[in-house]
Structure 1
């Protein structure tokens, strides 16, 4: 090999990785390092632990996240900003995919730095890439099924942000948001939390009803699948069951979505039948006065969680 060749050609692959991780400490060299590491993250063994245990790496990535806050306040994001922040989030995702490091990052409250990114409302490509990157991190953590993770998310503003994106986001954002909501409610602590207050239950159930209405106009079976499972899970809680009976959209009662070949939700007929069976067999102990109470409560889009 010629002595004039420079850069990674003169170094082993491992030395290149170490060099890029070191470059995360410098703002000038950070973008290139983040892009190189992100491109190779699926092929670099133990990238998550390497980043977590490297001096200054996590700090450098957090600086990238914080530097985007002025753009969040202005509710706009350009392509270059989106590229930088998505690269940083991608490396966080590499860390959260490791069971131990994901829990440690959660205990460090690092997700509080990412939550503001979900408040961006423009439906531009740049913003959507950021939104999907953050949701991917959340989904990755929830897939681990660690008991502390759901409890942690319930103490943040995640659920109100998820409900907002579930109603207003793009198709892929809605798929991820519906998955997140479903995973949280699968846990008993999540179901209890969502069903604890009447205003909270109504906010959730009315949002789901609006999403179902949207699905009749723009069908997305993957969203429908998780929405039906959320309804079915909420129906397992006695204080939510009667509200669902009163407010379940007609499309989920009359077989509107019961198609034999609904790609992405092949079991639609079975799961909708199971949901309606729960409603038919409900225990009507506290039925009196529910309708009159619900009509007097105004549902706000502000956080009820």
Structure 2
């Protein structure tokens, strides 16, 4: 049974929210150039290989999940996030449709509660704060208890960068000693929830009474259809499956969880998978796997 939050914890949480709202008032005044500059600075502070390598290694040591070598490569996702951010307008008028008489203005949502998963304790807060800054929002992160040290270390690196850029550090904050009940209280006090993690976490976010985005249940299904019908296409798709499943030891929610293969290309694609290093279980082994992986119907 989850522990109840103490008065001291409530006071701490209310203080964090108050600081976040004060920072939100400041960032709401930034123009597009200032916002984009800040996104670049934050990304640069964590993409630096020396910084990211240490964070990646510490994440594996603290959580016991993933692979240090491929987790280091995840910094490239931050480059892609930054690229997508800088391509878009997010301040003032962002779209006009003259024929319909519609003009769209960007407006900050306010304070975002971010539930950070144990599988990506640094990539998630770093990526989300770049997007939050782009939208002139602020964010309070609730780390997974098994990854709280690494997540807060990443957050503190970003906070130092914000201060160097003349922006409020409290654009991003992290709960130092997170718990389920404390996270639930955080969600109630914010304007938007982003829950990245397992099914219980996402369900809790959707039940918070606050608008929420949930992701991260994982076990993604990948469909290999009958257009994968040449040796070259099958080799490429099999390679991508292997990369996806092996990266960070398959701990990320977006890795290939299972494959549905069209019967017309089934044999050729399975052969391509085996060539990439896949193991093809025999009938006896398959039955043993089923007994472990699935409940009886």
> What TM-score range do you get, normalising by the shorter chain?
under 0.3
**Which one scores higher on RCO, CA 8 angstroms, separation ≥ 6?**
2
Which structure's residues are more often strand, by fraction? Answer: 2
TM-score in terms of structure 2 length: 0.26
TM-score in terms of structure 1 length: 0.25
